[in-house]
Amino acid sequence: MIQVTADPTRCVGAGQCVLAEPSVFDQNEDDGTVIVLDNAPTDEQTISQVRQAIHLCPSRALALAEQPAPARTDAPRAPAGDDAGGAAP
């Protein structure tokens, strides 16, 4: 899972992010600073465009954090002592 963040205090309103991915970024109508519309996109194409926006942003106001998937609590566990890895004798 990824998380998109933007720092409007760094943003200079260049709009490159909106051009790169308008489904994730917009600009404040008053001062043109960035607004994040979707901070957790899941579509790979969209995420790729977000990376492009981060690359293009002249003020480095954008960031993308990769968060590990939450641990599954319903996953079956290997029986105790089941060393399927084949450790050397």
Instruction: Determine if 46 is a binding residue for ligand SF4 (CB under 6 A).
Output: no
Pairing of strands 62-66, 34-36: unpaired
2 has which bridge partners?
A: 66
Distances (CA, A) of 19 to 34, 53, 68, 76, 85: 12, 8, 29, 45, 49
Candidates 39-47, 59-67, 69-77, 80-88: pick the segment binding ligand SF4 (CB under 6 A): 59-67
For the CB of residue 20, give the shortest distance to ligand SF4 in the complex, in Å. Answer: 8
Instruction: Determine if 54 is a binding residue for ligand SF4 (CB under 6 A).
Output: no
Q: Which residues bind ligand SF4 (CB under 6 A)?
A: 6, 11-17, 27, 34, 57-59, 61-62
